[in-house]
Structure 1
Amino acid sequence: MSQSIPKRDEAFRPGQTALLLIDLQRAWLEPGADPDHPGSPDDYFYREAAQRVIPNNERLLQAARANGVEVIHTIIRSLTRDGRDRGLDHKMTPIHLGPDDPLALPVPSLMPVGDEILLPKTSSGVFNSTNIHYLLRNLGIRNLIVSGIMTDQCVDMAVRDGADLGYMITCVNDACGAKTQQRHETALKAFGGYCWTADTTTVAARFAALRS
């Protein structure tokens, strides 16, 4: 007997929906916090982060919490102070935030509350360097909503890997950001075949519908 194939924009399911916030950390979002990329508040990335990415993730987080959506935060953070546990790519780049570094934490308005899960990772792909697949299966998650930075790096990998592992992925396009607008838009087009792409207002309304 053949099974029906769902559509990518299927309705989110109560008790089976999770919001995954990717790398919305002080080190990357506060101008001057990253010594390798000090930047200026007037740079495209920081301007977009302040005016669009952070506010839209705040909206998503509020809607998720209000409507019983599981919230998972992932951050780039080594398990060791010298970063010896990092993936080779992060060693070569280099990218390293130690376990005691406050800049590794999400920006204050996006910090976890209660028993929301915070997963440190040491590679671009959250499915490669954390036990998120195991956790999502234990939580009974089917619909995984993804937002954060960078659209063309860590978000891209979460979308593609999650889709390959059998999750119904939604990427919130206006709650993601990259170093340039072109990189952001090109990434959305490139991985668009692996997910449903929607904006913050649409996804927040879908969250609210879970309570109706």
Structure 2
Amino acid sequence: MSWKTRNRSFYYQDAPEPEDLDWKPAETAFLVIDVQNTYLARPDRAGLDPAGQAAYDAWTPFHERMNGIVIPRIRDMLAFARARGIECLFARIACQTGDGRDRSLSQKLPGWNNLLLPKDEHASQLVPQLQPQGDEIVVTKTTDSALTGTNLRLILHNLGIRNVICAGIFTDQCVASTVRSLADESFRVVVLEDCCAAGNDALHQQELAIINMIYCHVMNAAELKAQLAPA
């Protein structure tokens, strides 16, 4: 099953297959979202209490996916994009203040999404494997959407970008929020399913079906490369 028929929700079961992409590299950007040190850090399991060990184990599939699939494929896609003159951009969550008072409400609420990531601390930095090169742009946000929380919309406009390829974490949160914002601003969007991850695979797959065909096209990295390969 190809990207044209995969990841379809109830709404799009019988929709016609989309056309092949006809994207010019100069009008296309590759956006890597929130692949930061804080999400890849893990404590020593042996030092945790039983509840902590249970939480550690619950997150193990995410870490295996990130280290074994997502980060290597994003790194490969960055090389692919750079070789073809596709703009590479990065977004990260970080607050300007030490106490996080500039964060959006969604990042102040109690629970897992309560993020305090001051901009200069190690936890808020992009992971070493996925560092910008040269003058590639990094935007810093205190919201889920990389458009809402930054001047990324203006940057893309000034660069002449019409098409955005999205990768990163979390599929069902910052990736999905960014994709919806991009679609609302009439950018054409692709999400690379094997360059993204959610907290677990069920959330990842569910969100892909929700956003596919209306806010973006969902495909894997190999399918995208085939679409953008020179004739």
TM-score w.r.t. the length of structure 2 is 0.81
2:67 equivalent to 1:76: no
2:185 equivalent to 1:165: yes
Question: Displacement, 1:207?
Answer: 4.5
Percent of residue pairs identical: 35
- Does the aligned pair in 1 maintain the 2:20–2:227 contact within 8 Å? no
2:147 equivalent to 1:130: no
In structure 2, what is the equivalent of residue 26 of structure 1? 37
| Distance in 2 between residues matched to 1:95 and 1:190, nearest whole Å | 25
Considering only CA atoms, is the larger Rg found in Structure 1 or Structure 2?
A: 2
Question: Displacement, 1:17?
Answer: 0.4
More displaced stretch, 146-155 vs 23-32: 23-32
- Does the aligned pair in 2 maintain the 1:56–1:174 contact within 8 Å? yes
Q: Which runs of 5+ in 1 are unaligned?
A: 1-6
2:213 equivalent to 1:202: no
- Does the aligned pair in 2 maintain the 1:146–1:171 contact within 8 Å? yes
Query: Against the structure 1 CA distance between its residues 101 and 207, is the aligned structure 2 distance closer, same or farther, given a 3 Å change threshold?
Result: farther
In structure 2, what is the equivalent of residue 175 of structure 1? 195
The one-character-per-residue Cα deviations of 1:6-38 (angstroms, maximum 9, x if unpaired) are x674222131000000001111123239xxx98
In structure 2, what is the equivalent of residue 3 of structure 1? none
Which residue identity does 1:122 align to in structure 2?
T
Which residue identity does 1:75 align to in structure 2?
R
Secondary structure of 2:195's counterpart equals strand
| Distance in 2 between residues matched to 1:58 and 1:17, nearest whole Å | 17
- Does the aligned pair in 2 maintain the 1:22–1:148 contact within 8 Å? yes
Question: Displacement, 1:103?
Answer: 1.8
| Distance in 1 between residues matched to 2:96 and 2:173, nearest whole Å | 21
Secondary structure of 2:79's counterpart equals helix
Which residue identity does 1:16 align to in structure 2?
E
| Distance in 1 between residues matched to 2:19 and 2:57, nearest whole Å | 38
- The 5 A counterparts of 1:11-50 are 11-32=22-43, 39=56, 43-50=60-67
2:107 equivalent to 1:90: yes
Question: Displacement, 1:109?
Answer: 1.0
The one-character-per-residue Cα deviations of 1:66-125 (angstroms, maximum 9, x if unpaired) are 111101100001011221111011111421111220221111110111101011110111
Root mean square deviation, CA, Å: 2.0
Question: Displacement, 1:58?
Answer: 0.8
2:174 equivalent to 1:154: yes
More displaced stretch, 70-79 vs 191-200: 191-200
Question: Displacement, 1:137?
Answer: 0.4
Aligned length: 201
Which residue identity does 1:69 align to in structure 2?
I
Query: Against the structure 1 CA distance between its residues 90 and 8, is the aligned structure 2 distance closer, same or farther, given a 3 Å change threshold?
Result: farther
| Distance in 1 between residues matched to 2:104 and 2:177, nearest whole Å | 15
- Does the aligned pair in 2 maintain the 1:8–1:195 contact within 8 Å? no
| Distance in 1 between residues matched to 2:191 and 2:136, nearest whole Å | 20
**Which residue of 131, 134, 145 corresponds with 2:165?**
145
- Does the aligned pair in 1 maintain the 2:191–2:217 contact within 8 Å? yes
More displaced stretch, 197-206 vs 47-56: 197-206
The one-character-per-residue Cα deviations of 1:171-194 (angstroms, maximum 9, x if unpaired) are 101110011110000000011121
2:135 equivalent to 1:115: yes
